């Protein structure tokens, strides 16, 4: 049966984006438990750390240990976020499979975030590409596995500093990232301002310059449109999405610091539409216990964990449209 | 500019569905204030009361007074929900413009809710039709205005008692409602189990038997899919939606008693996509104050009220697809 389903990759980014967005630091032991629990639920793509100075982000000081633990699972694809060449070198040494470099399409945001213009970040990105290729050419067994370099275009759907980012700028930076050696282009709604029609437009815009390299979307759920935006992205052919368990990072008291799309709610929607994620909802919901243990008092978000999987819910057998019949009732 | 936009009707149902779903009774004076505030925000369709025995639903005991107040606004379309002929007669006397009768497609739910089978409810619905037509034929000025009769098909997307409702049953009951004289068929996700692919399928199924009479959708946001489901319904040509201010009726401590789609979040999504609702978001958000005053301590939901309208947000100029350009950035 599962052969008939179209696969959608859900990357758990809570260990990186979620934890980075809250003030507290999760002890390493709990990060290991979280990875174990996510793996047990069927998650096979995780962004587990970022390589940034520990004094800026103490939450990520244990990146090497966390990555080493994740790499203990042979079929787990392990991603790290890096803002610069030094971070990329550390990520390569740690042995990750994927490196995401954030490249803001907003000059104001880019300067505030990494003190580089977007063009300067593209130069840094090209240097990362060289470092990766050089590591591959001097390869031991593990390093020989070609590491994927992902251009994580940020503030694509709006910037709280600059406001609207002109479509020309988005297209120009996506094109530059491809030329600088991106294996994958990912689009990030950093500030939670994406809206459905705009999502479709920008996907087509970027696809026009990046083609099949445009693969992944990263939504925050700041205005409740995370799943609606995901739906439009699915309709436009996107099959990879980032999400955070329990929407970690959301904070009702700090506007602007809201979490990613909730992993459980996303998987439920994908299941209901007949996509195969490989993730078991019941185990996924149970894995929230790790967060409750590790971060007592931290708000855990999510509709599905509260309401439960509908009694009669069965995943639909395939995503191909078909004429409705009794046996295809989905809920 | 507004001439270019396609109109979407948003019916505020919080005064009926929202208030009916919480244990407390809102004093009549606050209901009047809510209607005033919603009207001031541009809402022109409201479902303000139901005609049910006051001992069953004391929240609705002031239906006549509330309706009289709403009818003070000449261009406000006033709807009441009625479960039986007696309720329809009371609604006619009160002078409403639209009467919604709930007809469950699930036999188990129908028996539990109104102690009638769906077929028996169709008979009651036909009697309401006759009462409306008879009132029109003996018309004074006001009564002469033909009252619309809406078949509000409930548990269409799943029933917590019966589970999945066979598509054949849904189609049969929709057809029967049309034959019994429905002016409009509305589909209700009573239990918050609707999922996007299923929504598209069921709309096409019901349109097959009800044609253009299928006009309105009523979602609850139990599993976070309310806006994603709305998006699919829009794509399938639906242009009328029910919603509740602040998602009133949702209660995290009572699974199963969750609120309607949030009016503010819905209007924001529609605005962002270039639809015209006639509703001003800033005034709409401000109108939540009435709920805070009237129901202190009651949780008020909604993303937009928390996060705010994005600084650079401008409604897109029209819904026709167009090639992306700088001036069309939406956020």
Contacting residues for A183 by C-beta, under 8 A, at least 6 apart: A148, A149, A150, A213
Quote the minimal CA–CA distance from A312 to chain B in Å: 5
CB contact under 8 A, B225 and A269: yes
Residue A153 pLDDT grade (very low, low, confident, very high; cuts 50, 70, 90): very high
Cβ atoms of residues B103 and B177 within 8 Å:
yes
In terms of pLDDT, which residue wins out, A326 or A188? A188
CB contact under 8 A, A329 and B166: yes
pLDDT tens by residue, B279-289? 999 999 999 99
CB contact under 8 A, B167 and A316: no
Query: What's the complex ipTM?
Result: 0.90
Residues of A with CB below 8 A from B310's CB? 158, 160, 191, 193, 223
Domain count, chain A: 1
The CATH number assigned to the domain holding B144 equals 3.20.20.70
- Give mean pLDDT, residues B95-119: 94
Whole-number pLDDT of residue A141: 56
Residue A115 to residue B271: CA distance in whole angstroms: 35
Of the listed A251, A257, A294, A309, which one is catalytic? A251
pLDDT tens by residue, B170-201? 999 999 999 999 999 999 998 899 999 999 99
Quote the minimal CA–CA distance from A19 to chain B in Å: 20
Of the listed B57, B108, B251, B330, which one is catalytic? B251
Q: Return the closest-CA partner of residue A162 out of A199, A114, A111, A203.
A: A111
pLDDT tens by residue, A205-238? 999 999 999 999 999 999 999 999 999 999 999 9
CB contact under 8 A, B198 and A166: no
Nearest by CB to residue A205, choosing from B160, B303, B324, is B324
CB contact under 8 A, A167 and B225: no
Q: Return the closest-CA partner of residue A257 out of A298, A285, A286.
A: A298
pLDDT tens by residue, A83-110? 999 999 999 999 999 999 999 999 999 9
Q: Where are the alpha helices (DSSP H) in B99-258?
A: 107-114, 118-137, 141-144, 167-179, 196-210, 226-235
Choosing among A168, A228, A252, A258, which should be mutated to test the B contact, i.e. which has the most B CBs within 10 A? A228
Whole-number pLDDT of residue A164: 84
Find tokens 């009572």 and name the residue.
B254
pLDDT tens by residue, A106-143? 999 999 888 999 999 999 999 999 999 999 888 765 55
In this structure, chain B runs to a length of 331
pLDDT tens by residue, B14-37? 999 999 988 889 999 999 999 999
CB contact under 8 A, B307 and A192: yes
pLDDT tens by residue, B31-42? 999 999 999 999
Sign of CA dihedral B269, A241, A30, A306: positive
Work out how many CB contacts closer than 8 A connect A with B.
175
Residue A102 to residue B233: CA distance in whole angstroms: 35
In this structure, chain A runs to a length of 331
Quote the minimal CA–CA distance from B247 to chain A in Å: 12
Residue B179 C-beta-side C-alpha neighbours within 13 Å: 10
Tell me: pLDDT of A198 over 90: yes
Choosing among B265, B299, B310, which should be mutated to test the A contact, i.e. which has the most A CBs within 10 A? B310
Q: Is A159 assigned a catalytic role? A: no
Residues of B with CB below 8 A from A192's CB? 307
Whole-number pLDDT of residue A322: 37
Tell me: pLDDT of B73 over 50: yes
Mean pLDDT of the residues in chain B: 89
CB contact under 8 A, B310 and A194: no
What is the domain range of residue A113?
Answer: 2-328
Cβ atoms of residues A144 and A104 within 8 Å:
no
């Amino acid at each position: 049966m599962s052969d008939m389903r179209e696969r959608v990759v859900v990357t758990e980014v809570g260990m990186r984006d979620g934890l980075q967005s809250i003030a507290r630091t999760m002890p390493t032991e709990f990060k290991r438990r979280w990875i174990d629990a996510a793996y047990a639920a069927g998650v096979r793509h995780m962004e587990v750390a970022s390589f940034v100075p520990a004094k800026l982000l103490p939450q990520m000081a244990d990146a090497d240990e966390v990555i080493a633990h994740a790499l203990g699972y042979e079929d787990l694809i392990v991603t790290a976020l890096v803002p610069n060449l030094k971070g990329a070198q550390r990520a390569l040494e740690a042995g990750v499979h994927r490196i995401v470099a954030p490249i803001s399409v907003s000059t104001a945001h880019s300067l505030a975030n990494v003190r580089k213009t977007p063009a300067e970040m593209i130069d840094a990105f090209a240097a990362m590409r060289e470092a990766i290729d050089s590591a591959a050419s001097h390869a031991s067994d593990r390093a020989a596995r070609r590491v994927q370099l992902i251009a994580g275009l940020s503030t694509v759907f709006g910037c709280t500093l600059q406001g609207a980012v002109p479509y020309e700028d988005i297209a120009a930076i996506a094109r530059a990232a491809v030329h600088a050696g991106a294996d994958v282009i990912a689009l990030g709604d950093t500030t939670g301002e994406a809206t459905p029609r705009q999502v479709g437009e920008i996907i087509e815009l970027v696809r026009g310059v990046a083609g099949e390299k445009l693969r992944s979307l990263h939504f925050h759920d700041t205005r409740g449109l995370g799943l609606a935006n995901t739906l439009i992205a699915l309709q436009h052919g996107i099959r990879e999405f980032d999400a955070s368990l329990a929407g970690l990072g959301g904070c009702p008291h700090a506007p602007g610091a809201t979490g990613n799309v909730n992993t459980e709610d996303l998987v439920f929607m994908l299941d209901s539409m007949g996509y195969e994620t490989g993730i078991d909802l019941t185990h996924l919901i149970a894995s929230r216990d790790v967060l409750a243990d590790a971060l007592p008092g931290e708000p855990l978000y999510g509709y599905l964990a509260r309401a439960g999987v509908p009694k009669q819910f069965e995943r639909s057998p395939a995503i191909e449209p078909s004429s409705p019949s009794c046996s295809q009732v989905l809920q």
